[in-house]
Amino acid sequence: MATPTSIELFLADGTPGGLIAAEISGWTGKIIAAPRKSLGALLAREEAQSNGVYILLGEDAESINNTWCYIGRSENFAERLRNHQANKPKWQRAIIILSLHHSFNEGHWGYMEAKLLQEARKAGRSSLDENKNNPRSRKLSESQEASVNEFIRKVKLILPMLGVNILRSASGEESAAPSVQRGVKDESPVFSLVHTSRGVDARMRPVDGELFVLEGSRLIKQWDTSAARSEHTRRSYEALAQQHQKLIADGSLRVEDDVCVATRDIVFNSPSTAAAICLGRSSNGRTAWKTSDGMTYAQWEAAVQ
């Protein structure tokens, strides 16, 4: 079950679009995010002389969330970011992750870099085309590994508060959304959507306000927009068909015989969109998605409010 946590955000420029420092009370870490236009202000800070892991973010129309990402580590953020300013034109925002007491060494950061990259690839919410090689995860003692994993858990709590969702997935440790089933507060339930004649057998789980169609789900192979009876419906179907095709193109869906199979957890912003992409036609996802005991998504949502 998720633990209530207080996160402190400091807007150095006085605006949410500027340089932001984020901390958790009692935590030994710190995260600073800055747009490219504020790089000078970031480099002028004492923290920029530290070592740690960093994330560069930009736009990529071909990725699921239209996000380009690069994950790396450095012994000195300022030197590395100056280099990337000249050699990596895609990035528009930099995130640096450091330890306030310099308690982590190169081995800790190497382990964290490998772990974050692994989780970003698994989530599939950004393109990582410039992270061509897998960094070798450093060998840590059992206690060191536990310390870094707890540090990463805090990082994964803070990043969404900064609008960074590249690590979020249905299986994330930080994503234990409450649900109510038979009066018990637990993780959010898994909903199913089955349509035998269309070969659809999909599962969906709500996590922290997002909806994930889970890896292994079987979806319709191809949309048929000819069934639309009005111009408005036709445009809606075409947009959904394009979204379905994009998921095939970026590898989120793999075509197998007469269906598509989800190769990773795929995020959606509404149950109806998720259902439509699965079925190949419009659908009221609030009633179409059901738990194993017959509870609809709408009923579950009403129960947890």
Instruction: Please tell me the predicted confidence (pLDDT) of residue 172.
Output: 58
d(CA 87, CA 91): 10
pLDDT at 166 over 80: yes
Pairwise CA distance, residues 205 & 57, whole Å:
27
Residue with the bigger pLDDT between 182 and 241: it is 241
Percent of the chain whose predicted confidence (pLDDT) is above 90 = 71
pLDDT at 176: 38
Please, what is the angle between helix 106-123 and helix 142-158, to 10°?
A: 50
Q: What is the pLDDT of residue 15?
A: 92
DSSP 68-122: EEEEEEES-HHHHHHHHHHH-TTEEEEEEEEETT----HHHHHHHHHHHHHHHHH
Look at residue 21 and tell me whether its pLDDT is greater than 50: yes
pLDDT band per the 50, 70, 90 thresholds, residue 177 = very low
Do 144 and 176 contact (CB within 8 A), yes or no? Answer: no
Distance CA 83, CA 107 (A): 23
Residue 62 is predicted with a pLDDT of 75
For the CA atoms of the chain, what is the radius of gyration? 21
Mean pLDDT, the chain, rounded, equals 89
Query: What is the pLDDT, as a whole number, of residue 167?
Result: 94
**Who contacts 267 (Cβ-Cβ below 8 Å, separation ≥6)?**
64, 65, 125, 168, 210, 211, 212
What is the rounded average pLDDT of the residues 23-46? 95
In this predicted structure, the answer to whether residue 186 has a pLDDT above a threshold of 90 is no
pLDDT for the residue 1: 54
Environment class of 281 (CB within 10 Å of its CB; exposed 0-12, middle 13-18, buried 19+): middle
Q: Whose CA is closest to 263, among 216, 203, 208, 198?
A: 216
Long-range pairs for 268-273: beta carbons < 8 A, 24 or more residues apart: 268/204, 268/210, 268/211, 268/212, 268/213, 269/210, 269/211, 270/211, 271/191, 271/204, 271/211, 271/297, 273/240, 273/243
Q: Look up residue 301 and give its two tokens.
A: 């949502």
Q: Reduce the DSSP state of residue 195 to 3 states and report it.
A: strand
b/e for 96-111, b at 16 or more Cβ within 10 A?
Answer: bbbbeeeebeeebbbb
- Using the predicted structure, report yes or no on whether residue 147 has a pLDDT greater than 90: yes
Question: What pLDDT score was predicted for residue 4?
Answer: 84
- pLDDT higher than 60, residue 282: yes
Distance CA 61, CA 127 (A): 10
What average pLDDT does range 184-204 have in this prediction?
A: 87
pLDDT above 70: percentage of residues in the chain: 93
Question: Model pTM?
Answer: 0.78
Confidence of residue 2 (pLDDT cuts 50, 70, 90): low
Q: Is the pLDDT of residue 132 over 90?
A: no
Distance CA 94, CA 84 (A): 10
Query: Is residue 175 predicted with pLDDT exceeding 50?
Result: no
Q: Mean pLDDT, to the nearest integer, of 25-54?
A: 96
